Amino acid sequence: MGKTGKKIRESKKRMRKTRKRVRKSNKKRGGGGSDIDVGSRIQINQTIYEVIKILPEGSTCKVFKVTENGTNHIYAVKAIYKTNKLINAANHELKILNLLKDNCDEFILCIKDHDFTNQRYNYIVSEYIDNDLLGSNTEVTARLVDQLCRAVIKLHQLGIAHRDIKPDNIGEKGNNIKMIDFGNAIYKNDYDPNNYTEAGTYSYIYPELYKTSSPSFDLLQQSDVWSLGITIFNLIYGIYTYMFVNGGIMNIDDRQIPPLINKFIEFAANPTEYKEKNNLSKVLEQEADKLFNEIMVKADALFEQGKTEGLYTINLREILTGKPENQKIYVPSTAPFESLPVTAVTYNTP
């Protein structure tokens, strides 16, 4: 991409730096792991694990890289703070992970054990993930898109909507990706539209969800495909989509993001027309449509390559229309499925 490629790389560096600042901020607010440190031992049921690394933490939990006593196998331990609200959340996440326990594969996180009897934390032990896509320089290839699509289709076939697909929640293990963090996931048989609560990350939430207070489960799964499309766009671009229409400014209130995403959909439909109608920043007004087109050329090439090679893939142009019927993952007709979820459409391989 020349100069554009350089800017994309610089944007990815800015994203990683911002993420580090957020983590430091979390620690200052009291999120540090003073009670569990490197060298600490954690007993979960009958197994002892030794902490060898403190991993980036979330707002509701601490995460550790551990070795299993006696085998030296490496795992991750998620220690969820034990408050009334988080106890329910932990039970919910565990139920989803147990549903996946017999169905985890090379693209979905596998759980090993859990213990909710500790007075301070609820523990979940899972396989250890090397990295996540936000913190890596992984190139977006047709094979990467295939793996992401397979993970989402697998979840949807099992009757699960993830509801928080983003680069942070996609791990890397060896040459494969792993869908992780099921704290916001919903199982179809447990879902009641009348008790719907918003979840996810503003930058990736499907705009259609803001139009209803009781979305169907199909819409939740379609939202996963939207989030997947935005994830792939952001991995190619190296920066959040809404920043296209916000002058590259990242420090905005979360409540401002949903309307910006709607503006982005308008921009995606016709970048040149949108640029003429709106006052983009000087940086973007000169090259927004050019950069967008370069990204979409890359996305188009990935889509065509995926179909040529018989892979799972997405048509990002279709997804960015925002229409529910366009939130689809393309699956080769040779795939061994008895039935496909609403988010899948088959195509004939060459």
**Domain assignment present for 4:** no
The two three-digit tokens of residue 211, written as one number: 């139009």
Distance separating alpha carbons of residues 305 and 110, to the nearest angstrom = 30
Report d(CA 322, CA 281) in Å as an integer. 24
Number of H helices, E strands in the chain: 8, 13
Angle, helices 217-237 vs 282-308, to 10°: value is 110
What separation in angstroms does the CA of 185 have from each of 129, 188, 227, 292?
19, 10, 13, 31
Q: Is 337 within a domain? A: yes
pLDDT tens-digit map of 82-120: 887 777 777 788 888 888 877 777 899 988 999 988 888
pLDDT at 196: 92
CATH number of the domain bearing residue 205: 1.10.510.10
Same domain for 208 and 341: yes
Same-domain check for residues 160 and 102: no
Regarding whether 61 and 99 lie in a shared domain, the answer is yes
pLDDT by residue (tens digit) across 3-17? 545 555 555 555 555
- Residue 11 lies inside a defined structural domain of this protein: no
In tens, the pLDDT along 47-80 reads 999 999 998 777 788 999 999 999 999 999 999 8
Q: Are residues 96 and 152 in the same domain?
A: no
- What domain count does the chain have? 2
Q: Give residues with Cβ within 8 angstroms of 112, minimum separation 6.
A: 75, 125, 126, 127
205 and 237 together in one domain: yes
User: Amino acid identity of 285?
Assistant: E
Residue 145 and residue 97 share a domain: no
Q: Is the pLDDT of residue 27 over 50?
A: no
In a domain, 9, yes or no: no
Structure tokens at 225: 């495909």
Enumerate residues 6+ apart whose C-beta is below 8 A from 321. Answer: 265, 268, 269
Q: Which of 80, 104, 127 is the last residue of a domain?
A: 127
Query: Are the CB atoms for 124 and 159 separated by under 8 Å?
Result: no
3-state secondary structure of 44: strand
Q: Are both 117 and 161 inside the same structural domain? A: no
Residue type, 245: V
Which residue, 160, 156, 96, 147, is CA-closest to 126?
96
Average pLDDT score over residue span 204-217: 93
d(CA 346, CA 313): 10
User: How far is Cα 350 from Cα 347, in angstroms, rounded to an integer?
Assistant: 9
- What's the confidence (pLDDT) of residue 119? 86
Domain range for residue 334?
132-347
For tokens 């979940």, the residue is: 124
pLDDT at 2: 53
User: Does residue 146 sit in the same domain as residue 121?
Assistant: no
- Residue 332 and residue 246 in one domain: yes
Q: Do 286 and 325 reside in the same domain of the chain?
A: yes
- Assess whether 220 and 153 both reside in one domain: yes
The verdict on residue 60 lying in a domain is: yes
Partners of 51 in beta bridges? 66
- Non-local CB neighbours of 336 within 8 Å, separated by 6+ positions: none
Lowest mean pLDDT among 140-144, 214-218, 258-262: 258-262
* Residue in the block written with tokens 């990706």: 177
- The answer to whether residues 227 and 245 belong to one domain is yes
**pTM of the predicted model as reported, rounded to 2 decimal places:** 0.84
